[in-house]
Amino acid sequence: MQTVVITGVSTGIGHAAAKVMIARGYKVFGSVRKESDAQRVQAELGENFTPLIFDVVDPQGISAAADSVREALGGTTLAGLVNNAGIAVSGPLLEVPESEYRKQLEVNLVGPFLVTQAFAPLLGADQQLTGPPGRIVNISSVAGLRAMPFLGPYAASKFGLEGYSEALRRELIMFGIDVIVVGPGPVKTAIWDKAEEVDIEQYGDSPYRPILERFQKVFIGQGRDGYPADRLGELICTALTTPKPKVRYAAVKGRMMEKLMMSVASPRMLDKAIAKMLGLNKPS
């Protein structure tokens, strides 16, 4: 039975990917941060799921998890690593607290770096292991290619992940380990219920305050009508298993005219359209 490691499986994309991979006959080790989540997800996913309790910014916890997976593999290679765990920090870049900006980059950019360093030997960088080399799937976002206002911290982390993934893919050619990016748009998960609870009153004295309220409604609405998590789980499975994967898969739900505009419009045209939609135009 082949084995994959997926970070952030307590809910959403990671949970959906774990469910799909188990249905395809894989054993899944999945990271969670709480013992209660470990017990719940194991009960939901069954005997072919093993929880790993660590935070993706904790090198010691990651190292211990990698050691336990190595022991379970018994000298064979890991088939796949999915760097999924992440957070989204929102707010105007001129006013977002430094601590929140640093946290965004730590979780979404440093986290995959630490996890990959720990698990890459099991994917085949350790050539003493037997079996074919595995693959790495990094979960980016449409925000890794195009940045929206008030999601600057998140976009910075995902743009960074795209560049990291490209360099990593080329470096790992010598080991036969492939690196694939999956870049979804808004995904229909419980995260949007949490987003509705984000307190924008911290920007109460900001000139952005009324625009932020409008943006939050648009953003949450798009998310609740977003790409189904189960379908994204299937796409991650494809990236891990298809014989000749693409280097990047997009998963964006939307009307064809909107997609066409985003792909062909110049950056300045998009600036104007987004400013008009949110009310960001400079007062005359």
Active site amino acids: 154
Q: What angle do CA 34, 159, 222 make, to 5 degrees?
A: 70
Buried b or exposed e, range 51-69, using 16+ CB within 10 angstroms: bbebbbeeeebbeebbeeb
Using alpha carbons, select from 141, 151, 156, 65 the residue that is nearest to residue 106. 156
* E strand or H helix at 139: strand 135-139
Can you name the residues that pair with 29 across neighbouring β-strands?
5, 50
For residue 117, the Cα-to-chain-centroid distance in whole angstroms is 17
Can you name the residues that pair with 228 across neighbouring β-strands?
188
Q: What share of the chain is helix, strand, coil (3-state, %, to 5)?
A: 55, 15, 30
SS (H, E, C) 179-209: EEEEEECCEECCHHHHHHCCCHHHHCCCCCH
Residue 44 DSSP SS3? helix
